[in-house]
Amino acid sequence: MDETILPTWAIFIFVFVWLILPALIAYLHGRSWFRWLIIGAIFPIVCFIALAILPRPKDQKQKTESDSSTKTLIKGPPRLQRPLTASLLEGDNGKSIGSKDAHTSTVFDLSDQPIGSQEFKIEIASACEESNLNLGGFAEKYNIDPNVLGSWIDEYLGPDEANVEDTEPTELEKIGTLGSEDDIEVTQQTEMKVEQKEPGNGLATQPSVPTSIATSGSLSLWLDENQNIEDQPQGVFAMSITNFQVEGPDDDGDISLEIEFKLENTSETEITLVKKTLVLEQSKVGALAGEVNDKEECLLDPGDSLDVSTWARVNKNCFDQTDSSLDIKFFTSFYSSEFYKFTDIEIPNEANQTKSIIENVSSELLEPSIKISIMRTQEVPYDEDEDDPEEDKLEIKISLENKSSIYMEDIEANLVLLARNGAEIEETSDQLEVLAPHSGALLQPTFWGIKRSKLRDAKINLSIKTNKLVGTRILRETKAWTG
């Protein structure tokens, strides 16, 4: 009995070890133990040979990361790949280095430490400090990313140890580091100065406004200058409260507040848009209710007035019951507008075509040349089983540039698609809230799913409206909300 059982257990243990050993070796090498368990069961001898020949995944991963780290370190900005100038070929002790040596110099000439180690970073940073080159010149000579090199110097040698020149370079010298003079396109600087006028207080302080010098190297150098900007008066509009009513509280405890204002245009400019913001508050509670940036389109000649009303609801429990007063703050901004109407624009005759035109306008705000592109593309069915809808899409791209030194607001492009007989097919529009001084924007109105039969000989009627801030006014008054 014992002689029969013992060989059976011995065979079982041998087979178990034979199957589990490849899986254990694979697991220790960082491979999938389950996969190699299956392979060992099917190919018992081959799996041992394969495990002995194949490299460990961890070693392969470390090699890949090391190569990637080396490439990241040595790869610098594109401008560092251009031929070095004579000034950057000056090595230690002021001796000139041949162009061949300069181009073949690498970080491996400075340190034998492993790439990415702390010792490697310290040796490279120390070599930069001891050289007669500034940070940019050293980085270019050895083809290192200057931002990475600067961070190593700050981390291991301290920010004061960086090899920088004592004199601060001028703005033109900074621009010169980007490339030759032919590569630099300096925009005309616009003088801007903010002046705020309060009634009876004269002119306030004139804070400086930064402007930029744009270059083809995608770098903006900001200059801190006092520059002139059109005066934005605050005291040329009259406002008053003509009606204040309080109702309630109702069954829910809500109190209704209705306020009417009278706005008078005492300026010499035609007003076409008024933006209003109302704040109701108590001194011990803070803001209770109001309206934000409510717009009122109008046409106010000098001397005309406009009646506006606003309404709010506040629960009585939100009020300070010991204070019967309610502070009313009414902020208004007054705008004049420019309106541009273009001649009817013809659309492309067929799908997958583009038509571009340039329209000229006379404007105090916009660049006179406005570029417009019309792209006609074929609408595709939602499902593959559906038939061709025989519809096209018209995408209109309108490029605008603000040439002035003031902000433009609520820019809107309105388009009407006209059939060949002059009938209106569809309308669309696109809006932009703000366009900063000396900046640009793109409006992209679109006509969707228009039948091709309607698009034959069709035209687009385009108009653009912009708004310019003329002045602002603040009304502060206290009313009783109870009693």
pLDDT truncated to tens, each residue of the chain (483 aa)?
Answer: 444 555 777 777 777 777 777 777 777 777 777 777 777 777 777 777 776 777 666 555 555 544 444 444 444 433 333 333 333 333 333 333 333 344 456 777 787 777 777 778 888 888 888 887 888 888 888 888 888 888 888 877 765 444 444 444 444 444 444 444 444 333 333 333 333 333 333 333 334 333 333 333 333 333 333 344 344 444 468 889 999 999 988 888 899 999 999 999 988 889 999 999 999 999 889 999 988 888 999 999 999 999 999 888 999 889 988 888 999 999 999 999 999 999 899 999 999 999 999 999 998 899 999 999 999 998 877 766 667 778 899 999 999 999 999 899 999 999 999 999 999 999 999 999 999 999 999 999 999 999 999 999 999 999 999 999 988 889 999 999 885
Are residues 364 and 315 part of one domain?
Answer: no
Are residues 242 and 204 part of one domain?
Answer: no
Entry pTM: 0.51
Domain assignment of residue 59, yes or no: no
User: In angstroms, how far is CA 21 from the centroid of its own chain?
Assistant: 58
E-strand ranges in 129-227 read 196-198, 202-203, 209-214, 220-225
Name the residue with tokens 């046409």.
Answer: 299
Domain assignment of residue 63, yes or no: no
Q: How many helices (H) and strands (E) does the chain have?
A: 10, 20
End-to-end CA distance of the chain: give it in Å, rounded. 111
d(CA 70, CA 77): 15
CATH number at residue 347: 2.60.40
Domain assignment of residue 221, yes or no: yes
Q: What angle do CA 159, 163, 167 make, to 5 degrees?
A: 100
Are residues 102 and 79 part of one domain?
Answer: yes
Domain that holds residue 26: 2-54
Are residues 362 and 328 part of one domain?
Answer: no
Domain assignment of residue 65, yes or no: no
d(CA 411, CA 381): 34
d(CA 47, CA 134): 58
Name the residue with tokens 């034959």.
Answer: 456
CATH number at residue 312: 2.60.40.10
Q: Where does a domain end: 121, 147, 166? A: 166
Q: Which residues contact 248 (CB under 8 A, 6 or more apart)?
A: 254, 255, 256, 316
Are residues 107 and 143 part of one domain?
Answer: yes
Are residues 462 and 364 part of one domain?
Answer: yes
What is the tally of structural domains in the chain? 5
According to DSSP, residue 316 is labeled G
Are residues 190 and 121 part of one domain?
Answer: no
Are residues 137 and 125 part of one domain?
Answer: yes
According to DSSP, residue 157 is labeled I
Are residues 162 and 106 part of one domain?
Answer: yes
Q: Which residues contact 453 (CB under 8 A, 6 or more apart)?
A: 390
Structure confidence by residue, pLDDT tens digits, 308-363: 998 889 998 899 888 889 999 999 999 999 999 998 999 999 999 999 999 999 98
What's the mean pLDDT when you consider all of the chain? 74
d(CA 450, CA 390): 8
Domain assignment of residue 117, yes or no: yes
Are residues 394 and 349 part of one domain?
Answer: yes
Domain assignment of residue 328, yes or no: yes
Domain assignment of residue 218, yes or no: yes
Identify whether the C-beta of residue 429 lies closer than 8 Å to the C-beta of residue 386. no
Are residues 206 and 262 part of one domain?
Answer: no
Are residues 250 and 215 part of one domain?
Answer: no
Domain assignment of residue 60, yes or no: no
